[in-house]
Amino acid sequence: MTASDAQAVMTAYEQWYDSKDADTQELIDEIHDRTNFIIDEDEYDAFIDELKAEGITTADEFSDRFYGEWEGVGDHITTKFSEELCDQVYPTDDLPDIYRCAIDFELVWYQSLRYDFYDMEFQGHTYFFHRG
């Protein structure tokens, strides 16, 4: 990409961003700060539409409910989410591997965590939100 191409891309982004109202700009900024996979104007617009369908319309709502993003989709992602969340809340560093390996984190998701969290798949990635 040449310098003039990069400048054109930046100008287009600035025009797109400036066309949004202040609340939407604040939401875009929050999404930008908290995610890694959403990178262009079309993706932001589509992601914001998905958020609206989930009842998230402001930066504060996003900040309060967003829990993280994971690369990929499927049961293995909710399993990884469950394991990482459990490690944060209930550290198992002192738990012997014989017990730690017996924990079914996929079952933890389906039996417990899915009532407090939900996952949203977007463009090949999974985003987790607290049910608020």
Contact 117, 131 (CB under 8 A): yes
* Number of domains observed in the structure of the chain: 1
Cα separation, 57 vs 49, in Å, equals 9
Structure tokens at 86: 């459990």
* Other beta carbons within 10 Å of 7: 11
Evaluate if pTM is beyond 0.75: yes
Q: Is the pLDDT of residue 132 over 80?
A: no
Q: What pLDDT shows up at residue 106? A: 95
Convert the pLDDT of each residue in 81-90 to its tens digit: 999 999 888 8
29 lies in which domain range?
3-130
Structure tokens at 65: 């409910």
- Residue found under tokens 């990178």: 39
